Homo-oligomer: A and B are copies of this chain.
Amino acid sequence: MAESATMSSSSPNQLFLGSFIHSVALGQLQYLHNTAICVNSSGKIVAVKQDCDRDTAEQTLLPQLGWALDSVTITTAQDGQFFFPGFIDTHVHAPQYPNVGIFGKSTLLDWLNTYTFPMESSMACLSKARRVYSQCIRKSLSHGTTTASYFATIHVPATNLLADLCLSMGQRAFVGRVCMDQLAPDHYLDESPEQSVSRTREVINHIQSVDPEYALITPIITPRFAPSCSGQTMTALGELQKETALPVQTHISENNNEINLVKQQFPGIETYTDVYDQHGLLTDKTILAHAIHLSESEADLISQRQSKVAHCPCSNSSITSGEARVRWLLEKGISVGLGTDMSGGYSPSILEAARLASLVSNHLAMPGVKWPENATDEERNKVKLSVEEVLHLATRGGAEVVGLQDRIGGFDVGKEWDAQLIKLNAVPEAEDGVGSEYGGNVDVFGWETWEERIAKWLYNGDDRNTSRVWVKGRLVHEKK
């Protein structure tokens, strides 16, 4: 593969020059032009200097750091190009990658039985898992996803393999062995709560052996979702969380039939959110995917517990789950990131997830019976997410959701260099003129403001615009 050729396992000191764009707060992109960023050999940002061209950087910045010029790798974003923080996919199922786009008219519960369980259970075959996981990670990296929170399957060897592949291909990842002891076919279930825990421990031990400080790969406790877990299993996993302080990921309130199933299963517990809470799984390190049909009190409880939400608009629109009220969650102080949720969602791209987060928020704002007759345009418009807001969710928001807000998500001194270099096409001035053509569908005519270029990238950008991708300073993808 072409990517492998460009990867090096240890990095020299690096100097990045040009335009850097990142989200500094919800709805607020900062544009740093003519800027220099220095990244040390551990992949950490040690300097961000504005009004600093190459000469200035070489003459003043590098000497200040004590870096000899000939030991520094220099990467420059040319005119019109820019660096952007790597995307964070807060919810994705690696074993479902081959099924992207294949969901027909199904909704959650029949989708699981028809498409998902058969594919996932086939990861018992390690050579198949290697082929699927390699392609999934490669694809995800090529779209600028520098961190992903993966659901694997119940299989320990394949889950360990996923962790190994992320480590060798250089993607920052949370890797979770899926735990479930009901709902799926017998051959694709844990036999007991003890087995859920012991097999999860096996994966934790493996990851500790290959990445002892969780520098790149972190194990994550993964009860699939309440309908597929007995109370005992959830309790056991909740205890494991308490013991290990590891993060947790699961699904919540995606689909009405699912919610009814949870009600039947736990008749004594008032809400779906309470089910997780009462089993010790609603922690400040818990990532809850979907969170569409929550009641007011459920959202309040999630906020109180400081659990996080992975919003997966592509999935929610594809398998007809519903429209998550992101503005409402944010206003409750809940951290929200974006997830591709492959293969409930068809797209491997968090840029597409951001685009669809915008469209789904528009659907929530549409006039119709969802709104009182006298709702004003202003009230309705308020729920819409702006370009800047969805790009925040894709980066800094996602960093909060996976608990790495101190390490990734923006270009701040002390953070690690998880970044992508973005190139947009410049349309030639005349038929016989010279433009720059990187492929893809973002055409810049030259009169656009930077804000407009970013909007164009959000709505028409794809992996062709993602020219290079770095994780922790290491180049992990370069466009062919």
Contacts and interface: CB of A to CB of B under 8 A. Distances in A.
A100 B381 contact: no
Contacts of A447: 98
A322 B368 contact: yes
Interface in A422-480: 427-431, 439, 441-443, 445, 447-448, 452, 455-460, 462-464
Interface string A81-112: 00000000000000001101111110100000
B462 A462 contact: yes
A452 B114 CA distance: 13
B101 A455 contact: yes
A377 B107 contact: yes
Interface string A359-391: 100110111111000000100010010110000
Counted per complex, copies of this chain come to 2
A131 interface: yes
A339 interface: no
Given A102-B455, A139-B443, A317 B370 contact: no
Interface in A187-202: none
Contact of A445 (B98, B139, B464): B98
Contacts of A120: none
Contacts of A387: 104
A347 B460 contact: yes
Contacts of A176: none
Contact of A370 (B127, B369, B430, B463): B369
A460 B101 contact: yes
Interface string A213-233: 000000000000000000000
Given A368-B370, A443-B139, A462-B462, A456 B131 contact: no
B386 A105 contact: yes
Given A322-B366, A362-B320, A366-B320, A443 B135 contact: yes
Interface in A126-150: 127, 130-132, 134-135, 139
A459 B100 contact: yes
Interface string A52-69: 000000000000000000
Contact of A386 (B104, B346, B356, B445): B104
A101 B458 contact: yes
B431 A134 contact: yes
A307 interface: no
A367 B369 CA distance: 12
A101 B444 CA distance: 11
Contacts of A127: 430
Nearest to A130: B431
Contacts of A319: 362
A81 to B, nearest CB: 18
Interface of A: 1, 97-98, 100-105, 107, 127, 130-132, 134-135, 139, 256-257, 317-323, 346-349, 356, 359, 362-363, 365-370, 377, 381, 384, 386-387, 427-431, 439, 441-443, 445, 447-448, 452, 455-460, 462-464
Which 5 A-B pairs have CB atoms at the shortest separation, nearest pair first? Answer: A101-B459, A346-B459, A101-B456, A317-B359, A320-B362
12 contacts: A100-B459, A101-B452, A101-B455, A102-B456, A103-B455, A104-B386, A130-B431, A131-B427, A131-B429, A318-B359, A318-B459, A368-B370
Given A101-B452, A346-B459, 11 more contacts: A101-B455, A101-B456, A102-B448, A105-B384, A107-B377, A131-B430, A135-B427, A139-B441, A318-B459, A320-B365, A441-B462
